A and B are shown apart, each in its own frame.
Chain A
Amino acid sequence: MSQRQVLQVFEQYQKARTQFVQMVAELATRPQNIETLQNAGVMSLLRPLLLDVVPTIQQTAALALGRLANYNDDLAEAVVKGDILPQLVYSLAEQNRFYKKAAAFVLRAVGKHSPQLAQAIVDCGALDTLVICLEDFDPGVKEAAAWALGYIARHNAELSQAVVDAGAVPLLVLCIQEPEIALKRIAASALSDISKHSPELAQTVVDAGAIAHLAQMILNPDPKLKRQVLSALSQIAKHSVDLAEMVVEAEIFPVVLTCLKDKDEYVKKNASTLIREIAKHTPELSQLIVNAGGVAAVIDCIGSCKGNIRLPGIMMLGYVAAHSENLAMAVIISKGVPQLSVCLSEEPEDHIKAAAAWTLGQIGRHTPEHARAVAVTNTLPVLLCLYMSTESSEDLQIKVLPHDSKARRLFVTSGGLKKVQEIKAEPGSLLQEYINSINNCYPEEIVRYYSPGYSDTLLQRVDSYQPLIN
């Protein structure tokens, strides 16, 4: 046997391995193949290939594993149980950038399913290596690492805290400042995932100086980046007044309103969420938004989109109006009420209707003038129709009612009172309380007149009446 023949055997073996992993990786992209692959015991076959001498095979094996783990949590659990993670984590620090990317992909795919799986990744000590990967030169590696960290931090506060303790936040803030759009996007999303759990975590992100960089990127032309940036800012601002003020101090205000005109629906949604999270804290912040013309922009935005994208905008109007009567008046003069009643009548989803009705309640509850502004847009019949289908929109009617005689009259003439009396609520329930408080707004005869069975009792009285002729 010559040396060449010996080498040929090796070459053949290597070729076969390469082909195998490549085929598996390709098959794993289709969901219908996954079960077959799993039954064929692909996990145990891929595991030794992670330690292969040829780097291409290692990378492709990691890629295939990642695709499998991405598919469902059973497979992800199989990856965890197969003791693959320590191996990945060990080689994450050692190997080249392609391997790093693939390994980070596996970690991400495993960690995204449940907190337990993410915890398993943390227990392997993956965070430290991932954080080291954030310092890599290659933007692709950074991106993959940031992505994995974001998916781990997404689940709960403890995991986020673990990510923060590994020192990821300053590096993520550095990643935001990189020129690559994809990296920026994923770093912003990771920051958003970290800061969403608790005020302390958000404070950590703020202390790393993220807000200034995030605020700068609001004007970026890339819509997906804008989405993540706005979401990160809103997750920071939602926790406390201080954090919201810090976000406002980054001078986001006239700029963020342009996002409400964006073509991308989610940019709109996240921008209105951000404004909502800021507005909900104090009357002063709401006032600031009103003075910046934010209410008008939000109202226009509500008018220009449909469905769930409207929801944060609607709630933002409610929060602003709830703070004080002047702010509610500002919402009214910004032509918010007609827009809300349009939402109320044309939205198919219950929760959006409920939000619109709640907002109308917040606007109308201050003074008779406010209540009238709500009533003149012909909202009450719509509310009434809703009332039959959803109990959720129930409490707002009360909030509109007690102040204004005109509104009350409209309520009676539109048949609202009759419907209220027809509801059979068990005594002592919340609904009964609502009904009682509605009834208290009217004289007793009227309530009785509209009660069911009143005509019967009247007729009975006619029957039992003894005439006084003889």
Chain B
Amino acid sequence: MATLARLQGRSAVIRNQYYYRNSVVNQFRKKENDAAIKIQSWFRGCKVRAYIRYLYKKVTIIQKWWRSYLGRQQYQLMVKVAYYTMKMNLYNTMAVRIQRRWRGYRIRKYCFNYYYLKEYLKAVSETNDVIREALEEFAEMKEKEERKADLEREEKKRDYQARKMHYLLSTKQIPGVYNSPFRREPDPWELQLQKAKPLTHRKPNIKQKCSINLSSWLECTRSRSFPQSEILPPINRKQCQGPFRDLSEVLQQRYKPLEPTLRVAEPISELKEAREAFRREELVLNIHENVFLPFSTYHKNKEKYRPSVHSSSKYGAASYGHQHFRDENPQKWVNSKCYVLMLLT
């Protein structure tokens, strides 16, 4: 207790002391606190930074690995694609080469066959030559025909001339114009004149106007086959003499249609014709030309014997039909005996 008392006795001092000391320390307290904080913050900062640096290192490593992995993967893909395109290009070029060859071959063989074309063109030119020749020949023939016709015409003209000049022919007594006695041979005209027949005198020209008119009446297609009386008579008609009937009556008489009797209308050889017609009709109905021979021996001597086609052939008679009727193969027979038909009664 003493202690307590002592302490209590000293408490005032202690209080003073406490106060005093506190006031001394208070002066430095903030500064020290600040310094401590600074030191701590610096240290802690260092620590954290070191840690972060450490983490960064790790992260870099991870990223490096990951990225390299991804890169490798992508690279592989690219390589694959490049390889594929290269391959496809190669295949394509190869396919083009094959197709080119094939198409060329096919088109040359079937479409633009050079040799075929050559041949065709050759054929065409040959045909052309043939046609040209034929046409040339045709034209020549035509020309020849024409020349011949010209010659003939000229010949005719000359003949006519000779006939016209026939009076210039020399007689026994007097030589003609073309037969000069001072020449060794007579002129060719003289010979021609000798051959020619003199022209006869021309007949006086008969006026046919009237008859033409009449014929034109006759050939009318319609009702007026003869002139009707109300039409005026033709002008150039000669004046008739004597008492004649009326013109229209005469014409009617003249041009009325012919009405022959039955005896005249029928031909005189009618019976003969009827027989002929009958015979012809029979001929049409005949089946064959050969005359049917009756069943008697009378004709046999007259008619020639006709052998049948089989026996008269120079290749010999065929055995088929009278010696055998079907193919025979003895090896296939079961036995050599004939097949006997058993008749059951």
Chain A count of residues within 8 A CB distance of the other chain: 37
Q: Give the contact stretch, choosing among B120-128, B166-174, B329-337.
A: B120-128
A60 to chain B, nearest CB (A): 13
Other A-B contacts than A55-B216, A330-B124, 5 sampled, CB-CB below 8 A, are A98-B216, A296-B127, A296-B128, A326-B120, A334-B125
Say whether B213 faces chain A, with CB atoms less than 8 Å apart.
yes
Query: B251 interface residue, CB < 8 Å from A?
Result: no
Q: Number of residues in B with C-beta < 8 Å to the partner?
A: 28
CB interface residues, A 315-374, toward B, < 8 Å: 326, 329-330, 333-334
B88 at the interface (CB under 8 A from A): no
Hey, which bits of chain B sit against chain A, CB under 8 A? Answer: 117, 120-121, 124-125, 127-132, 135-136, 138-139, 142, 146, 213, 216-217, 219-222, 224, 231-232, 235
Given A98-B216, A293-B130, A333-B121, A261:B135 Cβ within 8 A: yes
Residue pair A54, B135 in contact (C-beta under 8 Å): no
- Set of chain A residues within 8 Å of B146, measured between Cβ atoms: 263
In angstroms, how far is the closest chain B Cβ from the Cβ of A286? 12
Quote the shortest CB–CB distance from B238 to chain A (angstroms). Answer: 14
A261-B142, A329-B121, A333-B125 as given contacts; A54 in contact with B131, CB under 8 Å: no
Q: Which positions 253-291 of chain A face chain B at CB distance < 8 Å? A: 254, 257-258, 260-261, 263, 290-291
Q: A381–B191 Cα gap in the complex (Å)?
A: 65
Q: Which residue of B lies closest to A293 (CB)?
A: B131
CB-nearest residue of chain B relative to A301?
A: B135
Check: A53 CB closer than 8 A to any chain B CB.
yes
Q: List 20 A-B contacts (CB under 8 A).
A: A11-B235, A14-B232, A18-B235, A96-B217, A97-B216, A97-B219, A98-B216, A257-B131, A258-B135, A260-B135, A261-B135, A261-B139, A263-B142, A292-B127, A295-B124, A296-B128, A296-B129, A329-B117, A329-B121, A334-B125
What are the residues of chain B within 8 A of A326 when measuring CB–CB?
117, 120-121
User: B221 and A137: CB pair below 8 A?
Assistant: yes
Q: Tell whether, in the assembled complex, residue A54 and residue B232 are in contact, meaning their CB atoms are under 8 Å apart.
A: yes
CA distance A14 to B131 in the complex (A): 66
Bound-state Cα–Cα, A330 to B219, Å? 60
Report yes or no: B131 in contact with A297, Cβ–Cβ below 8 A.
Answer: yes
Q: Does A404 contact B (CB under 8 A)?
A: no
Tell me the bound Cα distance from A417 to B184 in angstroms. 80
A290 partner residues in chain B, CB cutoff 8 A: 124
**From B117, B128, B217, B224, contact of A334 by CB (8 A):** B128
Judge if A300 is at the interface, Cβ distance under 8 Å: yes
Residue contact A96 to B216, C-beta cutoff 8 Å: yes
Closest B residue to A330 by beta carbon equals B124
User: In the complex, are the beta carbons of B222 and A94 less than 8 A apart?
Assistant: yes
CB <8 Å contact, B232 and A10: yes
Q: How far is the CA of A23 from the CA of B216 in the complex (A)?
A: 22
Q: Which of B128, B142, B217 contacts A293 (CB 8 A)?
A: B128
Q: Which residue of B lies closest to A94 (CB)?
A: B222
Q: Closest CB-CB distance, A299 to chain B, in whole Å?
A: 8
> In the assembled complex, which residues on chain B have CB atoms less than 8 Å from the CB atom of A96?
216-217, 219-222, 224
- B-chain residues with CB within 8 Å of residue A257 when the two chains form the complex: 131, 135
Question: Considering only CB atoms, which chain B residue lies closest to A300 in the complex?
Answer: B132
| Interface flag for A15 (CB, 8 Å) | yes
A56 within 8 Å of B by Cβ? Answer: yes
Q: In the complex, what's the smallest C-beta–C-beta distance from B207 to chain A, in angstroms?
A: 15
Q: How far is the CA of A290 from the CA of B235 in the complex (A)?
A: 68
Residues of chain B lying within 8 A (CB to CB) of residue A291? 124, 127
* A258 with B138: CB separation less than 8 A: yes
Given A260-B135, A300-B132, A326-B117 in contact, is the A14-B124 Cβ separation under 8 Å?
no
- Considering the chains assembled together, what is the distance between the CA atoms of A201 and B124 in angstroms? 36
Q: Which A residues lie within 8 Å of B213 (CB)? A: 56
Q: Determine the chain A residues whose CB is within 8 A of the CB of B127 once the complex forms.
A: 291-293, 296
Contacting pair A300 B221 (CB below 8 A) = no
Question: Given B138, B221, B235, which contacts A261 in the complex, CB threshold below 8 Å?
Answer: B138
Query: Residues of B contacting A97 with CB < 8 Å?
Result: 216, 219-221
A residues in contact with B216, CB < 8 Å? 55, 96-98
CB contacts (< 8 Å) of A94 on chain B: these are: 222
A333 touches B235 (CB 8 A): no
* A128 contact set on B, CB distance < 8 A: none
Taking the closest CB of chain A, its distance from the CB of B107, in whole angstroms, is 14
Separation of A296 and B130 alpha carbons in the complex (Å):
10
Assess the B124–A333 pair: CB atoms within 8 A: yes
Q: Output the nearest chain A residue to B223 by Cβ-Cβ distance.
A: A94
A144 to nearest B CB, angstroms? Answer: 15
Q: Name the interface residues of A46-69: CB closer than 8 Å to any CB of B.
A: 53-56
List chain B residues, Cβ under 8 A from A297.
131-132, 135
Contacts of B125 on A, CB cut-off 8 Å? 333-334
Given A10-B232, A56-B213, A96-B221, is A334 in contact with B124 using a C-beta cutoff of 8 Å?
yes
Decide yes or no whether A136 CB sits under 8 A from chain B: yes
- Determine the chain B residues whose CB is within 8 A of the CB of A329 once the complex forms: 117, 121
Q: Give the contacting residue for A53; candidates B117, B121, B139, B231; CB below 8 A.
A: B231
Chain A residue with Cβ nearest B132: A296
How far is B33's CA from A450's CA once the two chains are assembled, in angstroms? 104
Contacts of B117 in A (CB 8 A): 326, 329
Contacting residues, chain A, for B138 (C-beta < 8 A):
258, 261
Contact between chains at B131 and A296 (CB < 8 Å): yes
* Residues 439-455 of chain A, each 1 if its beta carbon lies under 8 Å from chain B, else 0: 00000000000000000
Instruction: Determine the residue in chain A with the shortest Cβ distance to B219.
Output: A97
Inter-chain contacts of B221 with A (CB < 8 A): 96-97, 136-137
Q: Are A330 and B121 in contact (CB under 8 A)?
A: yes
The 8 closest A-B pairs by CB, nearest first: A293-B131, A296-B128, A261-B139, A96-B220, A293-B127, A261-B135, A330-B124, A333-B125
> Chain A nearest CB: distance from B222 CB in Å?
6
Question: Which residues on B sit within 8 Å (CB–CB) of A95?
Answer: 222
Contacts of B231 in A (CB 8 A): 53-54
Residue of A55, A136, A138, A261 with highest tally of chain B CB at under 10 A:
A261
Q: State the Cβ distance, B156 to closest chain A Cβ, in Å.
A: 20
The distance from the CB of B184 to the nearest CB of chain A, in whole angstroms, is 44
Enumerate A1-49 residues with CB–CB distance to B below 8 Å.
10-11, 14-15, 18
Bound form: Cα–Cα A54–B127 in Å: 66
How many Å lie between the Cα of A96 and that of B136 in the bound state? 50
Alpha-carbon gap, A290 to B232, bound state (A): 69
Closest to B121 in A: A333
By a CB distance below 8 angstroms, the chain B residues around A98 are 216
A297 to B221, alpha carbons, bound, how many Å? 50
Complex formed: what's the CA distance from A111 to B107 in Å?
A: 60
Minimal beta-carbon separation of A279 from chain B (angstroms): 15
Cβ A53 vs Cβ B232 within 8 A: yes
CA of A292 to CA of B131, assembled, Å: 8
Kindly state the separation between the CA atoms of A137 and B224 in the bound complex, as whole angstroms.
Answer: 16
How many angstroms from the CA of A260 to the CA of B213 in the assembled complex? Answer: 47
A306 CA to B124 CA, complexed, in Å: 26
